[in-house]
Structure formats: structure tokens, C-alpha cells
Amino acid sequence: MAAKNRTKKPSQKPASNKLRIIGGTWRSRIIDFPDVEGLRPTGARIRETLFNWLNNALPGANCLDLCSGSGALGFEALSRGAKSAVMVDSNTEIVTKLRENANKLNATCCTLINQPAQDYLKQVSTKKFDIVFIDPPFSLNLWPDLFDGLASNSWLSSPAYIYVETPRSYVLHLPPSWSINKEKVASNICYRLIYNNETKISSPSTGEHR
């Protein structure tokens, strides 16, 4: 018997990238993000560790999410009790999707800025931030410019906490008043919680310094 001639179905367009908020008011809510080169959302396990570290600092905090990308860190912070979040990204497609997700979550305390983060920080701030998230596309090496902008132009409360993701081998050069509070490695990513001045967050049992 001759084999049946089976025609292949046309390939379907892949579904949008999605991630789940893992704690707080919006726990289990799904947000999606576009396919953009360099966009690398912080994984759920790393987010869980980070927000354990920040547990005592989050209620009522004003947050700044630089190179926001998927918005995973800013939306997670709001879900867990932050007072406000400013999300900054240079990519118009990303900011459009952030706005859609903010509307879906009814995140009225979320401000979106479509501008390169390093340019945004060149102005002198009229608002102080308690927590800053820095997770830029690794290939751009934006950390020195972002650190300098934050330290030079009055963006930080006293104290403030700065979360940073880098490649595992990347060597950070911190402003004089900043020190590493917590540090962990996951695969090829190193993630750190940094504090300015001399204030530390108490170490919960699940977030010991390594």
C-alpha cells in the first residue's frame, strides 16, 4: 500500500514569553514580554531569594527598576508591598508591553519611562529611591555608568538597597559608600544585594551570605 501523502501543517507563531509573579497581592498572575535581544528576565528562584533578602525593606518602599525589561522585578516589588515603582527602559516595544501589564494588574503606582537608563540618571533626582534594581543586557556593560549616575545625582535614600545582576566573572567597582551585603551565584549569573552607608538587612535563614 502506498504511503499516504501527508502535508505538513504550517508552523505556528510561538506564544509570547510569559512569567509568573511569585508572591504578594498578585501572586500567580501572569505577565508577558516581547522577544527582544538582550531581554533576560530574572528567574523565579533568584527572585525568591532576592525578595527574601528584601522582605523587611519592601513595605512602603519607593523602587527604581533600571533596564526594566520584562518588569519582573518592579511588578514583584509592587505585589509584595512597595509603595511605588519607576520602570525605565530604552526599548519602545518593551515599554508598550510594560504598560499593558501594568493596566492588566491595575498597577496605578507604577511609572514607565521610555529612555536609556544611563541618560535618565544624568538628571538630578527630585525623588529618593529606597530600592534600585539593576539588571541590564549583559553585552552593554552599563554597570559603571548606572552606578555613577545613582551615586552622583542624589537618587538614593539613606540607606538604599541596590540589587545587581552580572555575569559570574564580572568584577564590580562600587562607589565608596556602597558595600556588598549578600551575594550568590546561579549558573553563569552572579547576583548581589548592595547597601549604601552602613545599614544592613538582617540575614533570614534562607538568604545567608555566601
pTM, to two decimals: 0.85
Quote the crossing angle between the two packed helices 44-53 and 72-79, to the nearest 10°.
50
What tens digit of pLDDT does each residue of 128-151 get?
Answer: 999 999 999 998 999 999 999 999
Where in the chain are the domains? 17-196
pLDDT given at position 163: 98
Return the CATH fold of 17-196. Answer: Rossmann fold (3.40.50)
- 205: alpha, beta or left? (left if phi > 0; alpha if psi -120 to 50): alpha
Mean pLDDT estimate for the chain: 87
Q: Could you read off the pLDDT of 3-18 as tens digits, one per residue?
A: 444 444 443 433 458 9
Question: What would the pLDDT profile of 38-90 be if each residue is shown by its tens digit?
Answer: 687 888 999 999 999 999 999 999 999 999 999 999 999 999 999 999 999 99
